[in-house]
Structure 1
């Protein structure tokens, strides 16, 4: 895990009674926005405002449109419950066939911590949630962290994550912050590809939703006691990729919408273009019975929600040449992210990049059919790095041999070899798709080790990582003069923070492990973008 400062380069809502006094008591938190009154809820040492609509909801003719700012709020709003979950595809869970072990241990652990209190699914889901320290006033001007949830851009919801845990810890630390989470459109509703979507300028709608939410915060967070000039974006997996893409969009110009970034287990890798996924659009239109329409977009705007949900579920959510993905559209994402990074077209703000030690294990569980050396070679050439040569494949396999002792979960000897090539594939996947380190928390989980998401259990614990996060949000630096000093990463002294379960849970190590392998995979990825 490392951090760097980049200074020079490179709930259902409804208008309620006519008078707020009918539901306000002396201890009820409330906030005035425009001509409206938002009634929140006190939870321990925080005040929460849940399910606030931050744009006009994408229903009716606004389905498959860019997000539009709200009209001024009027009346009284109940902000004590989360809003609905956005329409989505439930991700398939990989399995090694050993019930009660391996990935099931992690799934049980995460589900017990991050289950959503609501199961209602609806399109009027573009809402955000705000937790503030109890008693915060407009004069306090507190820093803000904005959480973008994971889910591979096809699933997930903000209501699964309790921002009160982070805010409570910040108050205990004497560095109070505000926590914001939000929903954005997902799968077919948020990431429709194809030339029709590109021509209508409605690609990457989920990312555009996030951007509009940040504009809403600039306008309104001051009413909650926040400082709009100190907004840190924080995400994991697809949420982390979202953070990175917000940094790359608009020529790297943040528009003053955010001033820092934290990225966990997700980075801007090469993407498909809107044209490469035309078959996804065509299949979706066909499944929605809109192929014969003169205006296929108008047809799906008018289609019943259930028709679209059924059509969406017929298309694999994640595949090399189909599915619901962020795409290069020539506008919000003008070029390949790797190209933009190489050009230095990126926001100049402080940021943290974080990973777990065994990022690739959960992905590798989807690759159980790769039972031979030949099958692994074909996968490398056609799926992992399309276009890679035979000689380059040989280089990869020399650095990532099918030797359990050298594979992932790392440092676990010959154990955890779920299927014959599992640890080899997990090592390749982890180093190819994720960079930077490091969390070794929950290394003892059978099969997957310190896999993706395990560090969330510390951050929402709260734990040591929570404190570094709070410091970074409040100070622009993860250090506050106490505890282990986390040095800034630089090319001449590449050092990273490592978090583990052992008696000495925090340490600083050189960022040089598996250097040859990672450099090879990154060079091949840049040479052969998918």
Structure 2
């Protein structure tokens, strides 16, 4: 970045750059960012060609060499989505306390959205120059592949903490295509090779990091993937892509509350493609995909949002396409086709309460049985349900939020459903991932019981309040990004997870750390995982 400073001295009057604005040169392009405290921010940098016009519903294309001057002081556009807080659609008023802290930690940004959204943000310790080779962490945004983007997080928080810890890191935050624009299923998408475009966007962003991060002072050989929720699922799927060959794109992963689950195939969700087409003027077209590419943006956007939010959760998702996702994730794991890099996985204690708040109309055991057979594990038998009920009773004291006795039983089935959903969608997937990787690479696991809210407990994503606090978990992340080990020489030792010694770090509600065996609800979790593999949701 010193080269950029020299260039400014020669052309300062023409560029009208504030004296303290950080700069970096990429190819022949000059990027002007912001300095915030001790962090240089370079925002909204395009990492691929805009996926508009003929590039709509195409694989991401590498960005052309940069030329000229770029304003990197403002976030780029978000990818097309419904600009609402997705959490607010369920469980009000039970989520109000959680939502208040969520919105305070991750305020909704005042950022436009458009198809031209393949951009990323780079947060660098001020004064970093090429050759310093700082480790890099790449944040993959969360929110169910439907909402959110890079501008929802403040990467400066992580960089500033790393400087305080004397372990400076660079953070890169990536936007990728969401909803129908990024996850179009169906035979037409398969034939065109455009399934799972959002994941392909992420891969392209990682290639960009390899090409350009040295110009920011980063080390392309030390790149850690980091995500929560759909960002964590993404990190896991990147580990499973390409037979586990990372192509040198990343060297570690940190995954929170999201893991590759058994998937629907591209053909299972053919109806999603058909609904989209039939909601536009492309209905009846002989080449519906090409017609969709040529539609006015607003028409396509409104057709995408015509489905209710809950329907979109099930329709615009990662699919088994036998291409980017070559086989079911669980098959790939059992075959060892996974990147052999060190990783950390974590869950919160009460992962399932958020999902159960969408099911408060279920008040009887028969209702729960119907839900499991039709939606939770579609196709299971009543005999399977009875086995689940034996292990997950309707006693509120045994349900989630755990450790709260008879409190918070919003309905007679709420706490049971919360326990089942949390174990089915999170804890069983986490343990399955560990069981098929921990013997081959460094693996650490944690359980967060911190931030116990009324009614929902340590709900999904509450561990991010520690991470972006920042807190002690942030320090562990920074050490992991720097050394490949989350132990930083202070506090309790965090042992690796192994099949014979499945020790994990527990973050208690008072923020203290303990080490405990990862064996809770083992019989129920094993049953749910076996059924989930046979009957994917």
Q: Same fold (TM over 0.5)?
A: yes
How far residue 317 of structure 1 moved from its aligned partner, in angstroms, is 5.0
How far residue 292 of structure 1 moved from its aligned partner, in angstroms, is 2.2
Structure-2 change in CA distance of 1:363 and 1:137 (3 Å): same
| 2:468 corresponds to | 460
| 2:88 corresponds to | 93
Q: Does 1:441 align with 2:450?
A: yes
| 1:234 corresponds to | 226
| 1:428 corresponds to | 420
Q: Does 1:132 align with 2:140?
A: no
How far residue 319 of structure 1 moved from its aligned partner, in angstroms, is 4.9
CA displacement 1:330-365 (0-9 Å, x = unmatched)? 110111111111111100000000000000000000
Q: Does 1:222 align with 2:220?
A: no
* Contact 1:315 1:323 (8 Å CA) reproduced: no
Instruction: Specify which structure has the higher proportion of helix.
Output: 2
Q: Does 1:486 align with 2:475?
A: no
* Contact 1:94 1:365 (8 Å CA) reproduced: no
| 1:4 corresponds to | none
The size of the alignment, in residue pairs, is 509
Unpaired segments ≥5 residues, structure 1: 1-17
SS at match of 2:327: coil
CA distance in 2 between counterparts of 1:524 and 1:311 reads 35
CA distance in 1 between counterparts of 2:379 and 2:260 reads 20
CA distance in 2 between counterparts of 1:27 and 1:282 reads 53
| 1:328 corresponds to | 320
Please list, as runs of the form range in 1=range in 2, the aligned pairs for 1:199-214 lying within 5 A after superposition.
199-214=191-206
Please list, as runs of the form range in 1=range in 2, the aligned pairs for 1:360-371 lying within 5 A after superposition.
360-371=352-363
TM-score (norm 2): 0.92
SS at match of 1:246: helix
CA distance in 1 between counterparts of 2:294 and 2:535 reads 40
| 1:507 corresponds to | 514
SS at match of 2:490: coil
CA distance in 2 between counterparts of 1:94 and 1:122 reads 23
How far residue 150 of structure 1 moved from its aligned partner, in angstroms, is 0.7
4+ long deviations beyond 6 Å? none
CA displacement 1:142-172 (0-9 Å, x = unmatched)? 0000001111001111101000000000010
CA distance in 2 between counterparts of 1:352 and 1:51 reads 29
CA distance in 2 between counterparts of 1:213 and 1:143 reads 17
TM-score (norm 1): 0.93
Q: Does 1:528 align with 2:535?
A: yes
SS at match of 2:88: coil
Q: What is the aligned counterpart of 2:25 among 32, 41, 44?
A: 32
More displaced stretch, 384-393 vs 219-228: 384-393
| 1:517 corresponds to | 524
How far residue 505 of structure 1 moved from its aligned partner, in angstroms, is 1.1
SS at match of 1:144: strand
| 1:104 corresponds to | 96
Please list, as runs of the form range in 1=range in 2, the aligned pairs for 1:111-150 lying within 5 A after superposition.
111-150=103-142
Please list, as runs of the form range in 1=range in 2, the aligned pairs for 1:299-448 lying within 5 A after superposition.
299-319=291-311, 323-435=315-427, 436=430, 437-443=446-452, 445-448=453-456
How far residue 28 of structure 1 moved from its aligned partner, in angstroms, is 2.1
SS at match of 1:93: helix
CA distance in 1 between counterparts of 2:513 and 2:301 reads 45
More displaced stretch, 102-111 vs 33-42: 102-111
CA distance in 2 between counterparts of 1:85 and 1:25 reads 27
| Structure with more relative contact order (C-alpha pairs < 8 Å, separation 6 or more) | 1
CA distance in 2 between counterparts of 1:388 and 1:442 reads 35
Structure-2 change in CA distance of 1:320 and 1:169 (3 Å): closer
Structure-2 change in CA distance of 1:434 and 1:515 (3 Å): same
How far residue 418 of structure 1 moved from its aligned partner, in angstroms, is 1.4
Unpaired segments ≥5 residues, structure 2: 1-9, 431-445
CA-based RMSD of the aligned residues comes to: 1.7
* Contact 1:49 1:130 (8 Å CA) reproduced: yes
Q: Does 1:58 align with 2:51?
A: yes
* Contact 2:95 2:456 (8 Å CA) reproduced: yes
| 2:147 corresponds to | 155
CA distance in 2 between counterparts of 1:215 and 1:47 reads 22
CA distance in 1 between counterparts of 2:220 and 2:40 reads 19
SS at match of 1:139: coil
SS at match of 2:70: strand
CA distance in 2 between counterparts of 1:447 and 1:480 reads 35
How far residue 93 of structure 1 moved from its aligned partner, in angstroms, is 3.2
How far residue 312 of structure 1 moved from its aligned partner, in angstroms, is 0.4
How far residue 27 of structure 1 moved from its aligned partner, in angstroms, is 2.5
CA distance in 2 between counterparts of 1:96 and 1:274 reads 31
SS at match of 1:176: coil
